[in-house]
Homo-oligomer: A and B are copies of this chain.
Amino acid sequence: MPRKNQGTRPHVVILGAGFGGIKAAKLLADKDVDVTIVDKHNYHLFQPLLYQVSTSILSEDEISYPIRAFFQKNENIDFFMAEATGFDPANKIVKTSHGDISYDYLIIATGATTNYFGMKSVEEHSYPMKTLRESTLLRNHLIRTFERASRVENDKDLKKALMTIMIVGGGPTGVEEAGAISELVYKCMKKDYHNLNMNDVDIKLIEATDKLLPMMPEALRNNTVDVLRGKKVDVRLNTQVRDYDGEYITLKCGEKEEKIRTRTVIWAAGVKAQPVVATLGAEVDRAGRVIVEKTTQVKGFPDIYAIGDSAHFEQDGRPLPTIAPAAYEAAETTVKNIMHAIKGEEQETFVYKDLGSMATIGAGDAVMFKGVMKSKGLFAWIAWMAVHVLRLAGPLTNCTVIFKWVMNYFFGVRMARIVRD
């Protein structure tokens, strides 16, 4: 027997407690429906700050917020800790690792996972950073390689390989990670390791196209490259990763191939939808995202909606960007449309409003762009801090996060340099 809601009210099931899923649940909290949020984790993850966990700036629990904590006062919102594994749309059932759940309306908001574009060797040996676990494994790895380097006595090549760090992908994640690693190494680890020569460190940011932060105007893109180079990050544009066997990475720039020995390749070069989305049987795009109508309904499945990184929603001939605001905004229209459907009203059309984009390049430095407005440097960084702190769940976490950012900015302090097991 599939699990049902207890009452007679319509049952909305939300798959995924990311930005889109939590937003939808919050909007449904005062409506006359029962809601079940399904997620394999018991927390909402603030993914934009994963890079700060991987570089020892923030604690894990500062960017992960218990899902139930959002809804302590909302009796109609239930949480079901399980992984969505499939669909039975004919019977209005979603399958999970802990049994079936029946729904009246379903919101697919399962988010994205890392896309290696079919490169198995890279998938096997590189460090992704889409989940909390991945970011702490990367933190462990960064510290462990320096500990290993400090134990190496005679093998200079190995020592160099241990201190060579490659970040692949010139989007916001790659840029932010590269800046944060540079500061971790040159401001903090430099003082930690008396017997290592930090001139042996080599941090490279690899980007296949000719641009970092492609959504930004040219002046800000160039500024980003300059700032990163000032932080001793070797920015390599027009350079593709061909292979990585755990010891050597193969890069291709034009006709030239290059092999570099490194123990650390961080993969921030692409995302795709969670594989479960494709099992619905609806049409998906190349990144596995389900094609949705202008109403956010999945094409051919009017009682199933998809938002955020699970959905391919076209506007102006392009899919929406894979960022939190796109998920938030789609959640708003989706909730309205579910309430319309319950009342037998007509569905609304979703129109995405671009809120601009921003990226930090390091403590005290960021770029920001919206429409014709652009900004960089300390002002943009303060704006970036404000936006992210306001979006973070929970006023208490905000305090400790601001405190740690200020400490990191003024003193280069990174409190979380912990190899956890």
- Asked if A417 is an interface residue, CB under 8 A from chain B, the answer is yes
Q: Are B192 and A416 in contact (CB under 8 A)?
A: no
- Number of this chain's copies in the assembly equals 2
Interface residues of A in 39-60 (CB under 8 A from B): 41-43, 59-60
- Asked if A324 is an interface residue, CB under 8 A from chain B, the answer is no
Partner of A416, one of B61, B68, B403: B61
Partner of A42, one of B41, B59, B195, B417: B417
In the complex, the chain B residue whose C-beta lies closest to that of A139 is B61
Of A241-249, A296-304, A391-399, the segment with at least 4 beta carbons within 8 Å of chain B is A391-399
Give the bracket for the number of chain A residues in contact with chain B.
Answer: 35 or more
In the complex, the chain B residue whose C-beta lies closest to that of A140 is B42
Contact A43:B399 (CB < 8 A) given known A3-B153, A194-B75: no
Interface residues of A in 13-51 (CB under 8 A from B): 41-43
**A403–B194 alpha-carbon span in the complex (Å):** 34
**A348–B72 alpha-carbon span in the complex (Å):** 60
Q: Which 7 A-B pairs have the closest CB atoms?
A: A68-B192, A59-B59, A61-B416, A72-B191, A66-B417, A81-B147, A42-B419
In the assembled complex, 25 residue pairs joining A and B whose CB atoms fall closer than 8 Å, in A order, are: A3-B153, A42-B419, A43-B417, A59-B59, A59-B60, A59-B62, A60-B420, A61-B416, A64-B418, A66-B192, A66-B418, A69-B192, A72-B191, A72-B192, A75-B194, A79-B150, A80-B151, A81-B147, A81-B419, A82-B151, A132-B421, A396-B407, A396-B413, A396-B415, A397-B415
